[in-house]
Structure 1
Amino acid sequence: MVTFLPSRPGRLADVPSFGRGIGGAESNVACALAAAGHRTRWVGRVGADGFGDHLVDAVAAYGVDTSAVQRDPHRPTGIYFRTATDRDADGFEVVYYRAGSAASAMSPRNMPLDELAAGRVLHLSGITAALSADCLALMRTLTARRPGRPLVSFDVNHRANLWREAEGPRVLLDLARGADLVFVGEDEAETAWGVVGAEAIREALPEPSVLVVKQGAAGAVVFERCAASFPTPPLPELRALPPDPRASIADGAEDPVAGRGKKPRSGPDTVAFVPAPRVDVVAPVGAGDAFAAGFLSATLRGLPVRDRIRHGHLMAAAALTVPGDLGTPPSRAHADRLAALDADAWGKLRLGPGWTDVTQPKGAADQEVRTP
């Protein structure tokens, strides 16, 4: 979507003007990963209009491959407006104009499934599933477990105001069960599923090999199955998936949140908690997508779990210390130095505006991530 950011705090009714930017959970992750030196492709649909031109050009300017983006001559590019306050704060407002948008028409029938399956990682968001029945069918197809698929990363991103029906939380739970790597906020899990605490979230989501529970400014907990492995060589290319919109990892399963039909994890977890550094926040937006990008970047590099979490925190701090959704990530060498700090030095770390002001070396990575 094209985002319109307020020129000053206050109610939408009182804001006199807005600045134009770009937004979208998956494209944010793709842009952050590309800026960090990874090869990424964003796959999506935008209108054949000026806003679509702006989106494609802006995403491509980060180094993201946009060759698979479709232009719809009959549907507009989605836009939204929001206030400057934190999403969870009193007075936060967001207004979406995306009903009937080009993105809402994505489906298993019109999206290039071979393109989505060709990377080492396929990153998805629960926001896409809320856009339309066709989008949900696409998400069910992409999260269905099939041999040879890429590693599927899924950010729950529960947005209650996007779901027209009360089944939204259950749909997100089903989709998360089909993923290999899941990101979810502790607060959103409580809101959506009524589960409280990281351990309870893991009980509700036993299937993913890696579960990342974000705890805001406190830090993040990662549950990783001991047998989990993220291979460094490219995975075999997977051709177009059968368009099976009814496929779901949880078809016929009882609700695990209610304590029925839980699927046991195949082996014990290793559990790691890493506190977040202190951050002088400029704008509390984009941090979740940035954290996912940092964690994925470190995963692709085969780093240990502590460093994966720290790289997630550092990328989130890059977003939190700028006004918009996307911050300039630190250079890889800079981030690696910070991630390698001992526990005491990490605990004293404080990051403010301008802390990433170093040049990211180009060609620093050869991994590939694709996002719809």
Structure 2
Amino acid sequence: MAMLTPVNGVPLHRADELHCSIGGAESNVAMGLAAMGLDAHWVGRVGHDGFGTRIIEDLRDHGVGVSGVELDPGLPTGLYVKVPAQETDPDAGSSVLYYRQGSAASAMAPATLANPAVAELIAKAGLIHLSGITAALSADCRALLEILLKAPRNGRLITFDVNWRAALWAGPNTAGQDKSVLRQLANLADIVLVGKDEAGHAFGTTDEGELRALLPDPAVVVIKNEAISAIALHRDGRRDEVPALSVEVVEPVGAGDSFAAGFLSGVLFGLSQKASLRRGHAAAACTLTVHGDRGPLPPADELASILDCSDAQWAGIRVSAGHFDVPAEGSVAP
């Protein structure tokens, strides 16, 4: 989507200037994976308009392949507007306005898979990452996801981030379907990512055991418990938990997508669940300390040192403005 944000946090109704950028969970993950040195591509549909051109150019500039992007000559690019927290209620936080009904992306359908460029990308992919946001856009989008999730794996992984968006599930095409549709789709994936807070809305529970029972088939269900920890629940009953880092937060938007990119990069690199969860936390921390949807990772050697530190050191890390302050071994309490 194109994203419009009032400049300098001015209330939307008083804003004379809107900053234009791009947004979207899937594109954020793709850019995060590309930043980690992986061959990442984004498949989607945008309008044949300035916003669509901006999205394609930004993705390409961030190293993401766009051969699978379709231009719609009649439907517009999806749009969302960020509404800053109001001075009258600063605790309410920012919110967003979605303009996605009738957008080019909402016209994705099973026929999208017949596009030769898309078919070639899917055939070569080692991992296909899907989002519950796509499921909320239209019945055709849901059918597309179901085909992908039910298709033979042929050695690839299919991952699904629930990405609950209440505003998108309030439309006429989705009312009353949210919990059942998202659960059915998520249960078809190999790896599911879900925030503990959004699990209550999407699945009606935040309890680990109940969530795992509702999603019995995925090999791993990853629960992102905000600033506390991330938990990987395995189908065989094993459980891995890695505490979150202590972060001086500037802006939370995009952190979940950065976590997904970090975690999935670890999976693709063949790392352990613990190491993959650490990569997710580190990537999320970089985004939490900047304005915008993505924060740059530390240099590769520094990141490797951070990820390889002891549990005691990990617990003592402090992150601010993209800087990781890692305590020396032996200088922190066990």
- TM-score normalised by L of structure 1: 0.80
Work out the CA distance in 1 between the residues paired with 2:228 and 2:276: 16
The answer to whether the aligner puts 1:311 opposite 2:256 as a matched pair is no
Work out the CA distance in 2 between the residues paired with 1:9 and 1:283: 12
Matches within 5 A, 1:90-129: 90-111=92-113, 112=115, 114=119, 115-129=121-135
Decide whether the 8 Å contact of 2:135 with 2:141 is kept in 1. Answer: yes
**Among residues 149, 152, 158, which one is paired with 1:146 in the alignment?**
152
Q: In the TM superposition, what is the alpha-carbon distance from 1:313 to its structure 2 partner? A: 0.3
Deviations 1:192-224 (A, max 9, x none): 222132222112111100110000000111012
Work out the CA distance in 2 between the residues paired with 1:196 and 1:210: 16
Work out the CA distance in 2 between the residues paired with 1:182 and 1:336: 26
Decide whether the 8 Å contact of 1:44 with 1:69 is kept in 2. Answer: yes
Decide whether the 8 Å contact of 2:45 with 2:69 is kept in 1. Answer: yes
For 2:231, the aligned partner's letter is V
Deviations 1:226-284 (A, max 9, x none): xxxxxxxxxxxxxxxxxxxxxxxxxxxxxxxxxxxxxxxxxx22201100111111111
Residue 138 of structure 2 is matched in structure 1 by 132
Q: Which has the higher helix share?
A: 2
Number of residue pairs the alignment of both structures matches: 313
The answer to whether the aligner puts 1:284 opposite 2:252 as a matched pair is yes
Work out the CA distance in 1 between the residues paired with 2:302 and 2:207: 33
Matches within 5 A, 1:129-278: 129-148=135-154, 150-163=156-169, 164=171, 165-225=175-235, 268-278=236-246
**Higher relative contact order, chain-length normalized (CA < 8 Å, sep 6+):** 1
Residue 67 of structure 1 is matched in structure 2 by 67
Work out the CA distance in 1 between the residues paired with 2:155 and 2:102: 30
Decide whether the 8 Å contact of 1:82 with 1:93 is kept in 2. Answer: yes
Work out the CA distance in 1 between the residues paired with 2:303 and 2:312: 17
1:283–1:91 CA distance, 2 compared to 1 (3 A): closer
For 1:179, the aligned partner's letter is A
Q: In the TM superposition, what is the alpha-carbon distance from 1:91 to its structure 2 partner? A: 5.0
Q: In the TM superposition, what is the alpha-carbon distance from 1:137 to its structure 2 partner? A: 1.0
Work out the CA distance in 1 between the residues paired with 2:271 and 2:79: 37
Matches within 5 A, 1:41-80: 41-80=41-80
Q: In the TM superposition, what is the alpha-carbon distance from 1:341 to its structure 2 partner? A: 1.0
Secondary structure, aligned partner of 2:41: strand
Work out the CA distance in 1 between the residues paired with 2:97 and 2:280: 28
1:135–1:6 CA distance, 2 compared to 1 (3 A): same
The answer to whether the aligner puts 1:4 opposite 2:14 as a matched pair is no
For 1:216, the aligned partner's letter is E
Deviations 1:310-353 (A, max 9, x none): 00000111111110011112233222211111111111101111
Decide whether the 8 Å contact of 1:211 with 1:224 is kept in 2. Answer: yes
List alignment gaps of at least 5 residues for structure 2: 325-334
Deviations 1:132-186 (A, max 9, x none): 1111111111111525262101000111110121211211111100000100011
Deviations 1:3-51 (A, max 9, x none): 1123233643244432111111111000011011111111111111111
Secondary structure, aligned partner of 2:160: strand
List alignment gaps of at least 5 residues for structure 1: 226-267, 357-372
Decide whether the 8 Å contact of 1:32 with 1:293 is kept in 2. Answer: yes
Between stretches 145-154 and 121-130, larger displacement belongs to 145-154
Decide whether the 8 Å contact of 1:183 with 1:211 is kept in 2. Answer: yes
Decide whether the 8 Å contact of 1:277 with 1:350 is kept in 2. Answer: yes
For 1:102, the aligned partner's letter is A
Decide whether the 8 Å contact of 2:47 with 2:73 is kept in 1. Answer: yes
Decide whether the 8 Å contact of 1:12 with 1:93 is kept in 2. Answer: no
Decide whether the 8 Å contact of 2:84 with 2:93 is kept in 1. Answer: no
Work out the CA distance in 1 between the residues paired with 2:312 and 2:166: 39
Secondary structure, aligned partner of 2:56: helix
Work out the CA distance in 2 between the residues paired with 1:277 and 1:147: 34
Residue 296 of structure 1 is matched in structure 2 by 264
For 2:222, the aligned partner's letter is V
Residue 361 of structure 1 is matched in structure 2 by none
For 1:73, the aligned partner's letter is P
For 1:284, the aligned partner's letter is P
Q: In the TM superposition, what is the alpha-carbon distance from 1:116 to its structure 2 partner? A: 2.7
Decide whether the 8 Å contact of 2:196 with 2:206 is kept in 1. Answer: yes
Decide whether the 8 Å contact of 1:128 with 1:135 is kept in 2. Answer: yes
